[in-house]
Amino acid sequence: MPRKIWSNPGNPTAGVATRLGITRAELRRRLHRIKRAAKLGPRDRVTIWDDGSVTDEADDNIGNLQEEI
């Protein structure tokens, strides 16, 4: 079962990127693409899980940072 690694307001930390095995710049790029595809704005809150999955505030899966290229 995936564990939550980020759900705070603002940008995820470098520690989140490290945990996922990607750079912080890559994390930001992928997260923005996932949020845009889900019709969410930059300020919309999401949760990042340790398997790379991203969920919105309704806890719906909107993408995966490991799969987003």
Give how many domains the chain has, as a whole number. 1
- Number of other residues whose CB lies within 10 A of the CB of residue 12: 20
Q: Looking at the domain assignment, is residue 56 inside a domain?
A: yes
Q: Looking at the domain assignment, is residue 69 inside a domain?
A: no
pLDDT along the chain (69 residues), means of 10: 93 96 96 96 95 97 87
What phi-psi label fits residue 60: left (phi over 0), alpha (psi between -120 and 50 degrees) or beta?
beta
Q: In the prediction, which pLDDT does 55 show? A: 98
What is the extent of the structural domain holding 26? 4-64
Q: Looking at the domain assignment, is residue 29 inside a domain?
A: yes
Q: Looking at the domain assignment, is residue 46 inside a domain?
A: yes
Q: Looking at the domain assignment, is residue 38 inside a domain?
A: yes
Q: In the prediction, which pLDDT does 68 show? A: 59
Q: In the prediction, which pLDDT does 67 show? A: 87
Q: In the prediction, which pLDDT does 69 show? A: 55
Distance of CA 43 to the CA centre of its chain: 13
